[in-house]
Structure 1
């Protein structure tokens, strides 16, 4: 199955992304289609309706990834990443299959990859062979269970091993095939097999549905044929953050022609914008705005502001999609002596910066206006 040019409309509530997305992806007619999603957002206060040239779709995918792992109730988090959580009602309703279709759609249609799965989950998805799955106790989401297996691993004497095994007595005799008795020589076998049971075998029905859903668009066969593609699902050991330099290079200025009297002013605004990015990256923005009397809400926002917020404001995506942005993001300059707050057109990945005496002044006006725009993204962003 390939993406077809025929648009596939989808209507989403930002306040309830999971429920509204699941209702539509779960419709047989909807999931039978392979068209590019055409996203319309709605809220209780107003209906947003504009041509989706990519921005709303990317924003939806970003919100959907978060909803899958935080709002669906289908996953739980371990120290190594997210793993399916057995939910009988979800199995009966095919939720894991639908999530697989969502993930396939996100990957194929250029969203932020749903790369939050623990490595053992992806191992099993790409091999479907439990003997090839790498596991450690840190793959277990339940803290008490995880700690009990770690105690077994750390035992240095027979007495310590017996004491650690006592903590496992509530479940270990219910699992057929575990070593019994557990000796120092066989404790690693005990730990591996117990972990495999708790993170895969116990949730086998969830994995079966998830893999079935990932067959949508032919993603599962591609994952198994090209193992390097697992980066679309794997929780990276270290999450790559958007840097000021990367973001500055990503948002290319659309300057006036050389020799124009507008050009020097635009170049000055780019310098101020790059300084703003550096301040955000270095957590210096609070100091820059120190002379202002900020509200408590503004103080909290400034303290937690990251470069991903700025990228999401301009494009609808807080991370760079695996397939890149289409069209390429850019800065557009508007010479206007009245307007000061930047505006984003996420459909075309444009950040509009207003060039005027107020924004060019050697004070904190430009930085403060940018913060206000970011805080009130819905007011200063159009789709």
Structure 2
């Protein structure tokens, strides 16, 4: 059982997952506690677990152990976190959220995913480096147009390069400057994070997730990287396959009316293209997470639509909601 506090989801998960008797192979039982330290009272039939995993994944994404844009995160170096094993716990949390709650990260940078898989990484784009001072130093070396300018830039960056083991690289031609930049940048983004990455990959091994990633990297990649395709009206019409109540019943009439209004809403906003971006953001940030535990439409097979066979269970803080 996980007793979750909404104002400290990560702490609640950490207490539960590091408990000596915690078994990740058993179903999760989640009970949210309100501000008065009272249980919300919702019966866990997937709803509370899914919501807990969604909130935990969002908290993981924003933690200081990751750095970079929201949609393209890399591991950040924290030597104290390495000594405590926090990177392993981070990987374990992601595995549990994905497998038990069906909540995918969708925030890994392509470089981070390649490192997890064990693939060769591409050359570094300097925009990947979060440290502005170090990035500007490398950019100055890269932009030098003469050997003299290159050597001046190398001298200015000597303290940083010496820590990364790149200061002794001989720079006799302009082509050599790119070797210096790439060696320093790759060690900054990858080499110095070896200990943290080993822990992180070890944590992703929970429930066999890392083995599945290595065996099927192309098919699992979409779960970890940000989605490139924007949400469309047709996506939402297709992904929901409504199951109506018995024909002739009052529930059936109410549901058909609600479904017609839902489709009208999507079609009108599709025509008013200037408003669709706002609708897209509203659906992804408010309604899909509330109703289904999604922050975006999940991946689905092109020949198979998804369906919901019942009303969504609600906590006692939510009103009953029609769901198509």
Q: TM class by shorter-chain length?
A: 0.7 to 0.9
Shift in Å, 1:177: 4.8
* Pairs aligned (count): 311
Higher relative helix content: 2
Query: Helix, strand or coil: the match of 1:170?
Result: helix
Q: Is the 8 A contact 2:104 2:224 kept in 1?
A: no
The separation in 1 between residues aligned to 2:212 and 2:298, in whole angstroms, is 18
Instruction: Report the CA distance between 1:172 and its aligned residue.
Output: 0.8
1:345 aligns with 2:296: no
Partner of 2:4: 12
The more displaced of 190-199 and 222-231 is: 222-231
CA deviation string 1:63-95 (max 9, x = no partner): 11111121x321111597211112122112211
Query: Residue 286 of structure 2: SS of its match in structure 1?
Result: helix
Give the CA deviation at 1:345.
Answer: 2.8
Equivalent residues of 1:313, 1:346 under 8 A apart:
no
Cα distance in 2 for partners of 1:250, 1:113 equals 18
**Alignment check: 8 A CA contact 2:91 2:201 kept:** yes
CA 279–61 in structure 1, closer or farther in 2 if over 3 Å, else same: farther
Where 1:109 maps in the other structure, the secondary structure is helix
Do residues 171 (structure 1) and 160 (structure 2) align? yes
**Matching residue of 2:198:** 208
Q: CA deviation at 1:265?
A: 5.6
Contact 2:50/2:293 (<8 A) preserved: yes
Q: Secondary structure at the match of 1:28?
A: coil
Question: Secondary structure in 2 aligned to 1:23?
Answer: helix
Deviates more, 1:186-195 or 1:150-159: 150-159
Secondary structure of 2:106's counterpart equals coil
Name the CA distance, whole Å, in 2 between partners of 1:213 and 1:239.
Answer: 27
Structure 1 residue 171, shift from structure 2 partner: 0.7
Is 2:319 the partner of 1:380? yes
Looking at structure 2, the residues matched to 170 and 23 of structure 1 have their Cα atoms a distance apart, in angstroms, of 41
User: Is 1:305 equivalent to 2:305 in the alignment?
Assistant: no
Q: Secondary structure at the match of 1:345?
A: coil
| Unaligned 5+ runs, structure 2 | none
Asked if 1:77 is matched to 2:68, the reply is yes
Equivalence map 1:155-194=2 (5 Å) = 155-178=144-167, 180-182=169-171, 183-194=173-184
1:133 paired with 2:112, answer no
Separation (CA, whole Å) in 1 of partners of 2:16 and 2:52: 13
Distance 1:197 1:41 in 2: 43
Q: Is the contact between residue 311 and residue 319 of structure 1 (CA under 8 Å) also seen in structure 2?
A: yes
Offset at residue 310 of structure 1 (A) = 1.5
- The answer as to whether partners of 1:125 and 1:211 remain within 8 angstroms in 2 is yes
| Corresponding residue number in structure 1 for 2:17 | 25
Q: Which has the higher strand share?
A: 1
Structure 1 residues 154 and 346: CA distance shift in structure 2, 3 A = farther
Q: Which has the higher contact order (CA 8 A, sep 6+)?
A: 2
Query: 2:141·2:150 contact (CA, 8 Å) conserved in 1?
Result: yes
Contact map agreement 2:166 2:180 (CA 8 A) in 1: no
The alpha-carbon distance between structure 1 residues 234 and 138, as it changes in their structure 2 partners (threshold 3 A), is farther
SS at match of 2:174: coil
Report the TM-score, using the length of structure 2 for normalisation: 0.81
Q: Could you tell me which residue of structure 1 aligns to residue 53 of structure 2?
A: 61
Structure 1 window deviating more from structure 2 (72-81 vs 59-68): it is: 72-81
TM-superposed CA distance for 1:190, in Å, is 1.3
Q: Distance in 2 between matches of 1:213 and 1:108?
A: 13
Q: Distance in 2 between matches of 1:257 and 1:328?
A: 17
